Structure 1
Amino acid sequence: MSGSTPEARVVRARIVTVSTRASAGVYDDTAGPAVEAVLAGAGITVLGTTVVPDGREGVSRAIIDACRDADVVITNGGTGMHPKDTTPEATRDVIDREVPGLAEAIRATSLAITPMAMLSRGIAGIRDRTLVVNVPGSPKGARESVEVVIGVLGHAVDQLAAGDH
């Protein structure tokens, strides 16, 4: 044995902000930058943020596009109960398998902060070799949610790349 360790894999992420008003320029996207700060702070390379309006087809397309070169895609927004909140459905349309533990952990941790966490419908899943995670659209909720899962993202990406258990 040489005693050397394998080179650490660089995790690449994309962010998809789902907000009709932010995509129309009514106000600035603040949740996307909050997610980016957490990811970058953990050493994850953020390749960019896309802002799209609410709507199942558009969100699905944005997730597909983001998965082309990212190991992790974090969506923020569209996870509530408003009739236009269809991010979980759009995500299910494009993933191959769900990873329910991530969404469960986010909700469980968030429930200690606010009872409104019970109303979040976010999911997580895998599209080919990319992990997709839905988080809330508020900057605070998005940041707190990403902080819940940040510690397992590297291992998840390694597993998706067929790394050892």
Structure 2
Amino acid sequence: MSDTRPRLLGVVVSSTRAADGRREDLTGPRIAEWGRAHGFEVSGPHVVPDGPEVGDVLRRLVDQGCALVLTTGGTGFTDDDHTPEVTAALVDRPAPGIAEAIRARGLRTTPHAALSRGTAGISGHTLLVNLAGSTGAVREGLEVLSEIVDHALEQLGHGRPHDPPLHT
């Protein structure tokens, strides 16, 4: 029997300036578009200021059964960049190789990719991944995820639409 449930992607934009209307967010829509192109039903982008609000949205998306939640922004060195810490608080099992691969891809373009403190991990059966907040960083992070996300989600029991779940 096939699993016909859509895979859910949650998109969270961690940006105080975008949340209060001082800046237009361009990264959340880009992630949502990528998600739809990869067969996901998309929740978001949810645009929130960095900090506790990010954790609230992440918890809600995990509880809603998202297979994948991608955040953008809040991974730098400024005083209000707390997305990696908020994400790590929800992670049951870290997935450091994903964050390392995303940074490695970014380093091919800019040395500033080394400044991203983004993390990745599993919360329940949801894969959480932080992307930096620039459009270039999001593009590069999605390139990496395009290569690995199906296999990762299959291991978590989220088969591609119309595929049976993989039980290992």
Return 5+ residue gaps in structure 2 as ranges: 158-164
**In structure 2, what is the Cα distance between the partners aligned to 1:158 and 1:39?**
16
Deviations 1:39-98 (A, max 9, x none): 22222221222111011x221111111112211000000001111111000001111111
Deviations 1:101-153 (A, max 9, x none): 11011011110111101111100011111000000111221122122112221
- Residue among 58, 61, 72 paired with 1:66: 61
Return 5+ residue gaps in structure 1 as ranges: none
Deviations 1:6-50 (A, max 9, x none): 567732101000000111111222110111122222222212221
Residues 38 and 147 in structure 1, CA contact (< 8 A), matched pair in contact too: no
Q: In the alignment, residue 36 of structure 1 is paired with which amino acid?
A: A
Does 2:82 match 1:75? no
**In structure 1, what is the Cα distance between the partners aligned to 2:103 and 2:93?**
19
**In structure 2, what is the Cα distance between the partners aligned to 1:111 and 1:9?**
37
Aligned length: 160
**In structure 2, what is the Cα distance between the partners aligned to 1:74 and 1:155?**
16
**In structure 1, what is the Cα distance between the partners aligned to 2:86 and 2:167?**
31
The answer for the alignment partner of 1:163 in structure 2 is 166
The farther-off stretch of 77-86 and 45-54 is 45-54
**In structure 2, what is the Cα distance between the partners aligned to 1:100 and 1:143?**
19
Percentage of identical aligned residues = 41
RMSD of aligned Cα (Å): 1.8
**In structure 2, what is the Cα distance between the partners aligned to 1:6 and 1:82?**
46
Residues 39 and 150 in structure 1, CA contact (< 8 A), matched pair in contact too: no
The answer for the alignment partner of 2:83 in structure 1 is 87
Stretches (4+) displaced over 3 A: 5-10
